Structures are given as C-alpha cells and as structure tokens.
Structure 1
C-alpha cells in the first residue's frame, strides 16, 4: 500500500511538471473591453490620489508623480473616461500658472538663487520637458500656462550643447525616468515640438533641428525604452508609417510569452512600465486591440493590476550595475501606472478614438 501511494505521488508530480513547466509563465486569462476599461478606471483613481498625496506632502513636481499622471489622465479623458477635472486643472495651474508657480515647482531655476556649483547644474532639469509634454496633452491652456511653457522652451534652448544634445550625467541616472542621453533627448525633442510653431523664435526652430539631427545620428542601444521613444518621436514628427515598420516589428519580436515587455533584456521580467509604454506607442503606430499581440499585452496588464489600481514594480539597477535597492517604490510605480493607463485607455476607449491618430491595424 505504501509503495502504491508513493508511486502515485511521484506520477502526480511528474504530470503537473509537464503541465506547468517552471520556466514558462502561466497564461493570463483573456480580458474583454469591459475589464480593460475597469482597469483604467481603477488606475485613474490611483493616479489622482497618489499624485495629490505626493504634491501635498513633498511640494515637488517630480516627473513620475505629476507630469506623467497628468498626461495619462488627459489621455484617459480624451478616450471617454471620467476623471477629476478639477484636480487636473488645479494641479496644472499650480505648476504652470505663472513664473512664480513654475519656480515653486522646483523644476525651473530661480535667478535669485546662487548658481549650482555641481556639474549637474549645467544640465537641464528633466522635469521641464516632461511637464511641457503633459501640458500639451491638455484640451486647453491658460495665458499664464502659455507663458510658463515659453519659459521652459527658452531654458531648453539655453542648455543645448553645440552638437544639438544636452548634457547627461550617468552618475545621476535614475532609470527608467532618466535612462540615457538618448531617452532624455527624446523627451526634450517632444517638448520642443510643442513649442516651435510658425510663430516660434528662429532660435527655437534651429535648436529643434539640431536636436533631431543629433538624435537621428546617435548610436542605437539595446535599451527597450530607447526603441520605444525613438518610435514615438518618429510618430509625433509625422514620418510615413512605412518607414516605421522595422521599428514596430522589432518591438513585437521582444514581446514575452506572458504578453508583456520588460525594461531590460533578458534579465528582468515583464512589467507595466515597459508594457504600457510599448502598447501606447504601438497604438499610435496603428495597431488596434484586435491584433493578437496587442490583446495578449492588454490581458497581461489587466491580470497584473493590483487592487488599488497600480501595478507592481521593483527597483531598477543603479548606474554601476548593482541591483536596485530603493525602498521607495512609489516613483516607479506611479510612472508605470501612468504608462499602463496611457496604453489601455487608447486601446479600450469609452468613446470612438480620435480620428487624427491611426487606430486600426496596419
């Protein structure tokens, strides 16, 4: 009897191991449009409460806690989702409503302060381009906000180097928000694009041209975010879709078995930052929710969302390559939840999508 029971136990373990190998991720349950929309609604609640708490307690307009959520909330509203419009309006005004508000956000230099003697004092505060990109996603901006955006553009142009780039300090790298000189340049270019219309100063238009020339000539890396942001810049620059085919195919080839994407390959697991970012940009490139690859990525995000509306994240490695050890995970969690919201809101809208952007499979 004992030998029979032992044999049955061994057989059961063998069968289970064949059914669910340890190296293969479990497939995520399929999520319909309604479940994806519910995920966005939960994420909106998280982003609003987390951003408000950060701003009220820290008074710092960090990229991950204010510009990114404001962009995500604006996109969600455009796609038919209910957001706290008063919170978005008041927060935007508190950041951009005037020159004093911009300086109080700790992003724009106060001329009354002594010069920053540190090397990074020569560089650009990357919160400025993040804030400019977020502001241009809003339905409208007030006079004071427009003036602040002009100040941001002037600061960007002022800090540009002769070769068209901006200084990047590897020792201060904070991946994934500030990951490389190229990813920073992508955000700066997108910010300048919003401020260089026909009436923009010639210096601004020339700065943008130099920046794009440097960006296009910069050696490509294996960073996932760089691949995504290069595609996003191309889309926002109005490049023909057929010129982006190689880039989109490369991103699709990097999708993991669980449906998600990872920030680094092959060390880390799929996460909401890379997955949401990739989904959002692919949606702009013309991929719709009916594509199998897109559907699997949406299933991944719906399945991995936490009850509070956020997505789980881990600390990224430090610049010297040592494992991440940050005990404060709210910054990367808030940024990742913003990207996940951007991607899901576009692909599971509550109203017909904006016809000015492609929404169907190429």
Structure 2
C-alpha cells in the first residue's frame, strides 16, 4: 500500500486535533455493553419491520431486505445471536424475489454485497446487462432523482455499487475487470461529493480496487463533515445529523480505524445510541434528504410511506455501523466491501 501524501497526513492530523478540542476529554464514549445493547435492540426492530414488509410487499426494495440481510450477517459474524431459522427465511424470501427489479437494479447489487459468500450467477448477469454503453449504470428509484444529491452523485454511487457487487465472487474476476475497464471514463468525471454516501462509496471502492490514496481522501473528508454533536447528515451542508449518514460513515471509518478516526468513531456511536428510540429504530426527517415535495395534505400518505422506507433504511445502516465496533469471531468467506 502506498504511503499517504504529506498533505493528507497533515490534514488528518489536524482533523483529529480539532476533534479532540471540540469534543473535550470528558466526552462520553460508549462502552461495549452499551453498544451491544443498542445493536440487540436495533436487530429486533429490523426483524419486526421485515416481517411486516414480507407480509405486505412483493419485492425486496433497495432499502429493506438487502440491508436487513447485511446487518444480520455482520452481527452474526461478530457473535450476536441470530435465529438461524429466521435468517434462512429472510434469505429464501429475498432470493425468491431477487429477479423483480421494479425497485431498481441496485437491489441486486446490495443483495450480493449483503451475502458475498452466496454464489448468484443470475444476479451477476443482471448487473452486467444493466451497464450502459458509457460504462455507467443508470440509478433508479430512491437512489436516482428523488434525492437532493443530484444526478452525477447518483450515477457515481450506483456505478461503484455495481462494481463492488461484481467483485464479491472470485469466479467473477474477469467479468469485474471488464466492467471496471468500461466504467473508467464515467468514474473519472468525479465532482465534489454532495452526499456522505458518495464519500462512503468512493472510499469502499478505493479500498477494494485502489488507489489507496483515495481511501485516505474519502476518510479525511468524512471526518471534516462530522457535526459537533457526533453525527453526520446525508446531504453535505445540512445541519441536522441523521442515522443513515452516520451509520454509513461509521461503516467506512471502521474498516481500518486509526488514531485520526478513533475519537470521531466513538462520538458517532454515541450519537446513534443517544438518538435510538425505545423500539430500537431511529427517526429520520426525510425532507432533509428527499427533494420530492410531500407537504400538501393530499400527500400525507406519500410522506408516511416514504418516511417508513427511510426509517428502516437509516436504522439498518445505523445497525451496520454500530456492529463494526465488535471483532469478527466467525470465519469469513469472500471479502466484503
């Protein structure tokens, strides 16, 4: 791995120093018992919500079943008690609905990332067929024009997401290499990130495929965007922290925690625990993320439904972010992003 440039090293040091001054020596840091209790509550919330989703819906959604499987697999690998019969039911239901891409092809990518050890050549084929002539993938649904981040962020995120998904299986190495080569020009057009998720996907992509300097850059930018309360907002420039962005940021930062990020991680964890509801989920103000106007009285149902989607989405990512605090105790298979 290449050494980080002096400017990046200096920048991350200054970020860590400023964080220490801002938080202070007496800032609360969650202990293992508090973190474990938060994860257990959130897993129970996701279980209940997933049962309702499967009873009422006929598709996985980009925001429900893949994130549910991802959170539970991450927890299981770290020694949390996951009912094997229940988890098997979740897996079977999700894969039985995996060819229904009405919610967007991103669902397929997230499903592969959630279950990287499960060969799914039919899902690989769907992803390959979805690549556009310019090498990108077209974002869909909530991941496209419903969010405030803009089309360029959405395209870059979806493209990196699909390439990460293709890279989960060693047998797909040649397919992944070809798709990445085709996507080179599209990914070279990066603009300043408009969402925290963009920085996270850029960091995860660089962590898997390189260059390593891009990982350091994404991490440094994430640290810079952390709010004084310890959380992150999904859209860059928003003042209110939310569970979706905070969970995603913690996920990337904890892939390789170091002295420059330890304080930020602790305060991100504390923000999530301090804002967790009694039922294990997290509230989220979708008007800070979605650009769709749902303020009219006749759109009350649309607001309620969309809020339910983002509540689960944010709670799932918060769970994934929190569970990274625990070491892996179960043998890992394929490399995860």
Using the TM superposition, give the Cα deviation of residue 288 of structure 1 relative to its aligned residue in structure 2, in angstroms: 7.6
Which residue matches 1:258? 229
Deviations 1:222-264 (A, max 9, x none): 3221111100111132643x55222211111111110111112
Larger Rg: 1
* Residue 181 (structure 1) aligned with residue 155 (structure 2): yes
Matched residues in 2 for 1:341 and 1:47: separation? Answer: 9
Is residue 273–residue 335 contact of structure 1 (8 Å, CA) maintained in 2?
Answer: yes
SS of residue paired to 2:98: helix
Give the drift of 1:269: 0.4
- Give the Cα separation in 2 of the matches to 1:352 and 1:282: 21
The answer to whether the aligner puts 1:107 opposite 2:101 as a matched pair is yes
Report matched runs for 1:301-320 at 5 Å.
301-316=272-287
Q: Where do residues 87-166 of structure 1 align in structure 2 (5 Å cutoff)? A: 87-96=86-95, 101-103=97-99, 106-107=100-101, 125-136=105-116, 140-141=117-118, 146=119, 149-166=120-137
Shift of 1:126: 2.1
CA distance in 1, matches of 2:261, 2:98: 42
Contact kept, 8 Å, 2:294 with 2:303, in 1: the verdict is no
For residues 232 and 180 of structure 1, the distance between their equivalents in structure 2, rounded to whole angstroms, comes to 16
Deviation at 1:43, TM superposition (A): 0.6
Contact conserved, 2:284 with 2:311, CA < 8 A, in 1?
Answer: yes
Moved over 6 A (4+): 176-179
CA RMSD of aligned residues (A): 3.4
Q: Which residue is equivalent to 1:52?
A: 51
Tell me how far 1:203 sits from its aligned partner: 5.0
Q: Distance between the aligned counterparts of 1:170 and 1:52, measured in 2?
A: 23
Contact 1:29–1:303 (CA under 8 A) maintained in structure 2: no
Which TM-score applies when normalising by structure 2? 0.78
- The answer to whether 1:277 aligns with 2:257 is no
Are residue 209 (structure 1) and residue 205 (structure 2) matched? no
Tell me, in whole angstroms, the C-alpha distance in 1 between the residues paired with 2:27 and 2:49: 27
Post-superposition CA distance 1:206-230 (Å, at most 9, x none):
1233235522443343322111110
- Retained in 2: the 8 A contact 1:283–1:347? yes
Whole-angstrom distance in 2 between the partners of 1:215 and 1:335: 26
Q: 1:330 aligns with which of 292, 303, 308?
A: 308
**1: CA distance, partners of 2:189 / 2:267:** 34
Corresponding residue for residue 194 of structure 1:
168
**1: distance between equivalents of 2:27 and 2:311?**
21
- Distance verdict in 2 for CA 1:245–1:203, change over 3 Å: closer
Quote how far apart the aligned CAs of 1:333 are.
1.1
Q: Does the aligned pair in 2 maintain the 1:71–1:135 contact within 8 Å?
A: yes
Which aligned pairs between 1:235-250 and structure 2 lie closer than 5 A? 235-237=207-209, 239-240=211-212, 242-250=213-221
Choose the corresponding residue for 2:322, options 323, 331, 344.
344
Runs of 5+ consecutive residues of structure 2 not aligned to the other structure: 1-21, 296-301
Aligned residues, how many?
301
CA separation of 1:153/1:35 partners in 2, compared to 1, >3 Å: closer, same or farther?
same
Shift, 1:346, TM fit:
1.1
* Aligned residues of 1:192 and 1:204 also touching (Cα < 8 A): yes
Q: Secondary structure at the match of 2:278?
A: coil
Q: Residue deviations 1:142-194, cap 9 Å, x none?
A: xxxx3xx2112112211211211022469953438997111211221111112
User: Which residue in the other structure is 1:298 paired with?
Assistant: 269
| Secondary structure of residue in 2 paired with 1:161 | coil
**In proportion to residue count, which structure has more helix?**
2
Distance 1:265 1:167, change over 3 A: closer
Query: Is the Cα contact below 8 Å between 2:231 and 2:242 reproduced in 1?
Result: yes
Distance 1:288 1:281 in 2: 15
Give, in whole Å, the separation in 2 of the partners of 1:304 and 1:45.
16
> Deviation at 1:302?
0.8
